[in-house]
Structure 1
Amino acid sequence: MLSAGALRAHLLAARLAGPVATPRETSLRSYRLFAARDPRVLLGLEPEWAWRESDVLRLMAERCGVSNDPEHVSGSDVIDPNRTVAALDAFAGRLAAAAASRAPVLLGTGHPHRLLGFYASLAAALSAAGCPVLTPAHGRCVDITTRFGVRTFQLDYARGVALLRKPGAQGTPGETGAHTHSPLPVRTALDAAADARAALPALVIGDHGWVCGAGQLGIEAIGLGDTDDPAMFVGEAEGRVSVAIPIDDAVRSDYYGPLTRYVLNRACLSH
């Protein structure tokens, strides 16, 4: 079993925590946009509290370990690996609780290139424990506003994990899905389940709009957030996200393997 100390060392070596690739300028820009209620960074969350830019920076320093100095405006941002390990422990606790009650779960990602394997391993372990892994709205079209205009994608499932693909891209070699921060995919999935009077998830696991969008609708949600994803941590502070794990969400996909083993062991789901 991977110890907390060994995991911490891996987080630093792989730059999942410690100095990360996310530029400080990018993080600070996200905090400014969040304070201005820009929907691009709200990720489907509708904050209840008034969040000034300084409030967001203070929260991200507390939850992630970024510098709380507003004059620190360039260079790499930083994630405290101890905070990451603590959040992974809490994340494992929520997985264990879901498995114990055989709760229906929905997993989705806006980072399929990097995180699909991480979530797919969780889906397999939860399914083996008796949790229904839901796949509502499979094949539905979702219109996403991008910097290039409105683009239509299809909601697809790979190994139990929801993601977006370009229409007709399923089965295309090298096609792993689209990167998105939008809450529209989770809303589409939940609307389809409700319309069909099918099971709704008791827990949503993912990132970006999957977590914030589900949490905003009152469904328990847990997942990963980078230093430029303040909505995840605001949602946690306001009580609509159960666990937000501070971590670089765009490193090599195999670097997340030790995290998978750690949380499944902690949740007693590794066998």
Structure 2
Amino acid sequence: MSSTRTAPRDRLRGHLLATRLAGPVATTRETSLRSYRLFAARDPRALIGIDPVRDWRQSDLIELMAEKCGVSADPEHTFGHDVIDPELTLAALDAFADRLREVARRAAPVLLGTGHPHRLLGFYAGLAAALSAAGCVVLRPAQGLCVDILTRFGLRTHRLEYVGGVGFMRPWGAERTGGEPGAHTHSPLPVRLALDAAADAGGPLPELVIGDHGWVCGAGQLGFEAMGPADVDDPALFVGQAEGRVSVVVPLDDAVRTAYYRPLTRYVLNRACLSP
């Protein structure tokens, strides 16, 4: 590989480690193991839209996450901070960029959404702008429609909104600011709402859904190509990938500062030959 290709990759690797997007991350082993237990028990809070084909035991999930993320494969390792292998993050970012390039080449319609609007909205908005400039239709179905989502406070009504071409949920009655505030949710209901609305309107339907949490799992379960980032305590996306319903999952901490994701946007767009 030429030095012109390795230099950006090396810089991004350093950035991933310096910002704890990879390497030792904020997510604890205890949190991850709890998520794996819930997923193995098929708790909807951990499935987030995926209906697994096979039975996944906690030990199976530890093995999968060790392979895909680089966490410890030792089931006796039960405390401390989890670890993401930055080389696995970089390889997944390369695959992510390759899919973006192909979608942009065909000017295919895309749908973007996030359950982490306070952290990841800017990352997706940069992708949406570049895809739109390349001729892709960035879909915004179900704008303003509402759905009830189960939260730790019980069922709460949320409204689907779009900022910069990126869908997210805002609690009903929350003040419109035009900025980033929105609900943190793992629910697949937002993407189901959006896809149902697109179908009811006669299309177009997305050829690719880009997002996180329930946006990816919900779309993948319905047969749409879907990809996005996931933290080590979100095994559902990696199971979806292992079972063929999610195309690319990028292992990284999904709750660091918004600015820390900007170099990832630049790296992906440069590799995909898209203008930022």
Category of TM-score, reference length = shorter chain: over 0.9
Contact 1:19 / 1:76 at 8 angstroms: preserved in 2? yes
Cα RMSD, aligned residues only? 1.2
Contact 2:163 / 2:178 at 8 angstroms: preserved in 1? no
State the Cα distance separating 1:196 from its structure 2 match: 1.1
Give deviations 1:72-131, integer Å, cap 9, x for gaps: 111100000000000000000000010001110000000000000000000000000000
Contact 2:190 / 2:215 at 8 angstroms: preserved in 1? yes
Figure out how many residues of one structure are paired with residues of the other and give that number.
271
CA distance in 2, matches of 1:174, 1:189: 21
CA distance in 1, matches of 2:248, 2:259: 23
Structure 1 100/175 Cα, relative in aligned 2: closer, same or farther at 3 Å? closer
Instruction: Choose the corresponding residue for 2:83, options 78, 82, 98.
Output: 78
CA distance in 2, matches of 1:265, 1:168: 40
Q: Alignment identity in percent?
A: 72
1:97 corresponds to which residue? 102
1:14 corresponds to which residue? 19
CA distance in 2, matches of 1:250, 1:270: 26
Give deviations 1:130-176, integer Å, cap 9, x for gaps: 00000000000010011211000000000100000122435338761
Q: Partner letter of residue 15 of structure 2?
A: H
| 3-state SS of 1:86 partner | helix
Structure 1 stretches of 5 or more lacking a match? none
State the Cα distance separating 1:198 from its structure 2 match: 2.0
Contact 1:102 / 1:132 at 8 angstroms: preserved in 2? yes
Contact 2:69 / 2:232 at 8 angstroms: preserved in 1? yes
State the Cα distance separating 1:264 from its structure 2 match: 0.1
Structure 2 stretches of 5 or more lacking a match? none
Question: Post-superposition, which runs of at least 4 consecutive aligned residues in structure 1 deviate over 3 A?
Answer: 172-175
CA distance in 1, matches of 2:201, 2:176: 27
Q: Partner letter of residue 233 of structure 1?
A: F
Give deviations 1:8-49, integer Å, cap 9, x for gaps: 110000000000000110000001111110100101000011
CA distance in 1, matches of 2:93, 2:179: 30
The answer to whether residue 214 in structure 2 is matched with residue 223 in structure 1 is no
Contact 1:169 / 1:175 at 8 angstroms: preserved in 2? no
Q: Partner letter of residue 166 of structure 1?
A: P
The answer to whether residue 184 in structure 2 is matched with residue 183 in structure 1 is no
What's the TM-score, normalizing by structure 2?
0.96
Instruction: Choose the corresponding residue for 2:267, options 228, 250, 262.
Output: 262
Structure-to-structure mapping, 1:216-255, within 5 angstroms: 216-255=221-260
The answer to whether residue 192 in structure 2 is matched with residue 192 in structure 1 is no
1:35 corresponds to which residue? 40
2:164 corresponds to which residue? 159
CA distance in 2, matches of 1:74, 1:174: 37
1:202 corresponds to which residue? 207
CA distance in 2, matches of 1:105, 1:17: 28
What's the TM-score, normalizing by structure 1?
0.98
CA distance in 2, matches of 1:166, 1:180: 11
CA distance in 1, matches of 2:109, 2:173: 29
2:144 corresponds to which residue? 139
CA distance in 2, matches of 1:65, 1:217: 29
